[in-house]
Structure 1
Amino acid sequence: MTTATRERTPRTRKKKPEGQWKIDGTEPLNQDEVIKQEDPGLSARQRVIDIYSKEGFSSIPAEDLAPRFKWLGLYTQRKQNLGGELTSTLSNTELQDEYFMMRVRFDGGRVTPEQLRTVGEISRDYARSTADFTDRQNIQLHWIQIEDVPTIWEKLEKVGLSTLMGCGDVPRVILGSPVAGVAEDEIIDGTWAIDQITEKYLLSDDVQNLPRKFKTAISGNARQDVTHEIQDIAFVGREHPELGKGFDCFVGGGLSTNPMLAQSLGVFVPLERVPEVWHGVVSIFRDYGFRRLRNRARLKFLVAEWGIDKIREVLEIEYLDAPLERAEPVAPHLGNRDHLGVHKQQDGNYYVGVKPTVGHATGEQLIAIADVAERFGVERIRTTPMKELLFLDIKEEVIEPLKAALNETGLYPEPSEFRRGIISCTGLEFCKLAHATTKARAIQLVDELEERVGDLDVPISISLNGCPNACARSQVSDIGFKGQTVTDDEGNRVEGFQVHLGGALGLGEEAWGRKLRGHKVIADEVGEYVTRVVTNFKENSEPGEQFRDWVVRADEELLK
């Protein structure tokens, strides 16, 4: 047999190790993993206090600046006046400024007037009066200088607030129902579980070095008000005919460039076992999560590779004290999940939900809101995943005066559907990943739509994202914009967006909406585009038809 005719034995290429600790060992496979093993992220806190705040920005070594500062809730922000076309051509070091974004945690979205006032004063005095409510129930500040960080920490700690683990390869802030313990439509109150997790596990060494970030949500509200489908782990309230009130558990959700919906473990989790199950899933991620490639280092990729049955099996065998009772997945809530307006509480009082435009505020505005809350005897305020503010325990007779006072601070007790449903990320103004301006454009867009279109009689969600990471949930919005650099008619590289239409949570695999092939919108034409599409919807939809349903059947020309 000649060489030409000899059968060749196919070679099977050995799979590269993924950096799974329990399979491949703990030897670091990239520089981030090296840095995390050399010195834990939280260790940089004392160096900020002792060295960097005294010697200035130039004294901070690269490995503390990124990634360890993330563990402290700090990111360097983008240099001003760097266009979006430079995002993919400059390095992180070239893009970053000597100022920081600071993220203040509100686990469960809980905040008191005193705490809100403190954040407002910090914003006014140290952050050029910036303050943004996020869709993870935090507040973000900008223009923070390293010299001021220890003082800011002291002020926050005095009122029980922290920035620690606001970012980084750790469990991020825990989303919670903003009306936990008070809403009439609540199935079960998950507050105890949030407190147990934060007090028992959050600062323990065994969750300080995860493959990447880990996002949690816990809500016992019937509205499923914590975007559970796109979290790494989420506990959703349910009532079982035999087992009573408890939670379903979803794992492996996330958006970004590879969006995946969380899957139900198919179990019933009683309230007292939520912290144990949470810690078990975090431990699976720590021990089996992919660490070699950062873009695969999220729990969703492990769930996709293993399947939900293996995830549950490993969880129960290796990490839990006892198996969980099996149960059918809870059905999704398809209606409005926000809490705007006036709603009755379990105790006969009311809560009032209002909207800041795209979550943007100033330090002075936060102080004014705290003043209003104290004037009306409000002791409990809540932030929400829809960037709303809720005021709890309101007597019926003060509802209207409270709404009027909040309106004077720049909040909207009765927003239009456009103002109610719009959301944006930080965008090009501060984010080093962004290709397009979002927040200022979103504020302008709402004003333009209210003037040119008026209002709608059905909800509509509009999201503006500065990059593909989908921090503002572009794939699951009625109209979602994904920032990118595009070419205009004259051949110039300018800010622009790819468009997603008809996305929504609760629709299963149909959640992602519709992309029009090759369709891009130049940033300066966003207002004209949305006005045109929404007008087409108003003129061509059936009475009461939802925007996402109309998009499915609409002619493509009506969507361009």
Structure 2
Amino acid sequence: MTQAPERTTRHTRPTRTQATGAWADGDATPLNHNEEFKAADDGLNVRARIEEVYAKEGFASIPGDDLRGRMRWWGLYTQRKPGIDGGQTATLDPAELDDEYFMLRVRSDGGALSADQLRTIAGISTEFARDTADVTDRQNIQLHWIRIEDVPEIWSRLEAVGLTTAEACGDTPRVILGSPVAGIAADEVLDGTPAVREILERYIGSPEFSNLPRKFKTAVSGSPSLDVAHEVNDVSFVGVVHPEHGPGFDVWVGGGLSTNPMFAQRLGGWVPLEDVPEVWKGVVSIFRDHGYRRLRNRARLKFLMADWGAERFREVLEQDYLGRRLVDGPAPVAPSDQRRDHVGVHPQQDGRFWVGVAPVAGRVSGTTLYAVAELAARHGSGRVRLTPHQKILVLDVPQQEVAGLTAGLDAIDLPVAPSEWRRGVLACTGIEFCKLALVETKARARTVIAEMERRLPDFDVPFTIHVNGCPNACARTQVADVGLKGMVSKDDEGNLVEVFQVHLGGGLGTHPQLARKTRALKVPAEELPDYIERLATRFLEQRDGDEAFATWAHRADEDDLR
């Protein structure tokens, strides 16, 4: 009879046939180059060299380990050199892909920005970033065309208004997702903002967690609409009401997509608001100590969680890091509404309103952001929120100001009542700037949406289209109604063409499920409008009552999905 595996803690770990590089195994010898450069010098230390050397001596003065490694700890990635097609993404040396400009990510944890902060980002965009700006699905803004010579001045301006780029990228705790309507939604279980702030103040920028095996993604939301994609973050705190202890959070660990998609698992523990930072510290400490550092493609927390399971993870957390048991608690209630993007005009608990708009695939500009800041100050309190769905909210709008704000937003191509096509599209950065991408995404998304609005203008069913430039799923392709994963292939004449592998029927929230991959279904980029129109029309023809697209996509005949 096979004996059940022994439960283990930090002190009784199983024997491994191959080293994982986990520090808790007792050997911290770096097993790949990323681990080597992190061990040689903490990524946070690169800031001094940027300010004192690289910004003065220029791009050519930056050594490779700082350029493609440690600078990420301060939100800086080299962007893709123009003119390099997707067929060369995996074949060229990194130095050949590098342009002498950077993408810069600005932290806005919980998506929270004031009008003054947004004006500052907008000014940096117009002065230093060729008027570029993208709202990402990590609730922050990234800029492009940044020169190393301008970085110290950019940091100075950001920090003057309370913003930072610290640990916006790199093997660190990145931007914390939070409900964009925290503290104002009438149906909120509780406001997680104090926990987010405490995590930021205590741990972000600290050497204690500046060398993790890979990136670490956090979400905290007390919204019953499950608006932070908690199933696909490394750790999430989801609002629940305990029958004895009242409002608090349910803890989920080990989610992530990319080439090995996995949903997070519930630990089954209930955490009060004041304990969230302590539990967060415990989870990220487990990742730091036990995470797999040998292979980069297995270094995410989801792989450790898959091997351990929720029961063992909770045991190690309680025994080795918290020193106490968590209170058992209930799972969050599935939301009744499919909507989690907060678009439109909605009442707040204080009698005012929030107004949410949908930039196409998150693409805006500094000019647009400045206009939003001015509108938010004129018609509301000046508070703005970004969402994990690439949307923008203006908060605290008195009823008498809603019409004026709506008109102002419409005038800058941010309609408060967008089409379902526009509302449901999400896209990653794509080949325009990203060195990992194979295909164009932002412009492609805009073209498809414009065409679908022309062809099917009355389509009124929630329908999400997520466009990704590579297999890494930054745009969450596996959990969209239609997920489009960019690839390249050759046509009959031998020309390189952009195509998309199609994933159908994914989703989070009410019915979390990974999308269905249809056998050998790849659509040339130029044919996407035809394909989407065909797919949507068949769905409407075969729809059973108010059936969601994802439900239909999982039951439909394969021929109907082509």
TM-score (normalised: structure 2): 0.95
Which of 315, 332, 336 aligns to 2:317? It is 315
Instruction: Name which of structure 1's ranges 319-328 and 148-157 shifts more when overlaid on structure 2.
Output: 319-328
1:481 is aligned with what amino acid? L
Which of 18, 31, 36 aligns to 2:20? It is 18
Aligned to 2:424: 421
1:232 is aligned with what amino acid? D
State the Cα distance separating 1:558 from its structure 2 match.
2.0
Deviations 1:2-53 (A, max 9, x none): xxxxxxxxxxx97210001011421111111111011100111011111101
State the Cα distance separating 1:507 from its structure 2 match.
6.0
Deviations 1:149-175 (A, max 9, x none): 001111111111111111000000000
1:158 partnered with 2:160: yes
Aligned to 1:263: 265
1:451 is aligned with what amino acid? R
Aligned to 1:385: 388
Which of 472, 475, 497 aligns to 1:472? It is 475
Aligned to 2:244: 242
Aligned to 2:179: 177
1:381 is aligned with what amino acid? V
Native 8 Å contact 1:84 1:494 kept in 2 = no
Deviations 1:209-246 (A, max 9, x none): 00000000000011111000000000000011111110
Native 8 Å contact 1:76 1:96 kept in 2 = yes
Structure 2 counterpart SS, 1:427: coil
Aligned to 2:458: 455
1:470 is aligned with what amino acid? A
Distance in 2, matches of 1:491 and 1:537, equals 35
Instruction: Name which of structure 1's ranges 371-380 and 412-421 shifts more when overlaid on structure 2.
Output: 371-380
Structure 2 counterpart SS, 1:511: coil
Aligned to 1:110: 112
Distance in 2, matches of 1:536 and 1:133, equals 32
Q: Indicate the percent of aligned positions where both proteins have the same amino acid.
A: 55
Distance in 1, matches of 2:148 and 2:68, equals 14
Aligned to 1:37: 39
1:359 partnered with 2:362: yes
Aligned to 2:281: 279
1:300 partnered with 2:302: yes
Instruction: Name which of structure 1's ranges 173-182 and 536-545 shifts more when overlaid on structure 2.
Output: 536-545
Distance in 2, matches of 1:515 and 1:507, equals 21
Q: Is the alpha carbon distance of 1:524 and 1:206 closer, same or farther for their aligned partners in structure 2, counting shifts above 3 Å?
A: same
Native 8 Å contact 2:439 2:469 kept in 1 = yes
Native 8 Å contact 2:190 2:239 kept in 1 = yes
Distance in 2, matches of 1:501 and 1:379, equals 39
Distance in 2, matches of 1:14 and 1:409, equals 58
1:432 partnered with 2:444: no
Structure 2 counterpart SS, 1:428: coil
State the Cα distance separating 1:97 from its structure 2 match.
0.7
Which of 525, 534, 537 aligns to 1:535? It is 537
Aligned to 1:6: none
Distance in 1, matches of 2:122 and 2:514, equals 37
State the Cα distance separating 1:542 from its structure 2 match.
3.0
Distance in 1, matches of 2:492 and 2:263, equals 37
Native 8 Å contact 2:380 2:395 kept in 1 = no
Distance in 2, matches of 1:414 and 1:78, equals 35
Structure 2 counterpart SS, 1:429: coil
Task: Work out the number of aligned pairs and report it.
Answer: 547
Structure 2 counterpart SS, 1:410: coil
Aligned to 2:8: none
Distance in 2, matches of 1:489 and 1:415, equals 39
Aligned to 1:484: 487
Aligned to 1:187: 189
State the Cα distance separating 1:332 from its structure 2 match.
3.3
Distance in 1, matches of 2:478 and 2:203, equals 32
Q: Is the alpha carbon distance of 1:387 and 1:14 closer, same or farther for their aligned partners in structure 2, counting shifts above 3 Å?
A: closer
Distance in 2, matches of 1:30 and 1:84, equals 26
Distance in 2, matches of 1:278 and 1:476, equals 25
Native 8 Å contact 1:427 1:439 kept in 2 = yes
Native 8 Å contact 1:267 1:329 kept in 2 = no
Aligned to 2:3: none
Aligned to 1:130: 132
Distance in 1, matches of 2:227 and 2:16, equals 45
Distance in 2, matches of 1:455 and 1:235, equals 38
Q: Is the alpha carbon distance of 1:112 and 1:14 closer, same or farther for their aligned partners in structure 2, counting shifts above 3 Å?
A: closer
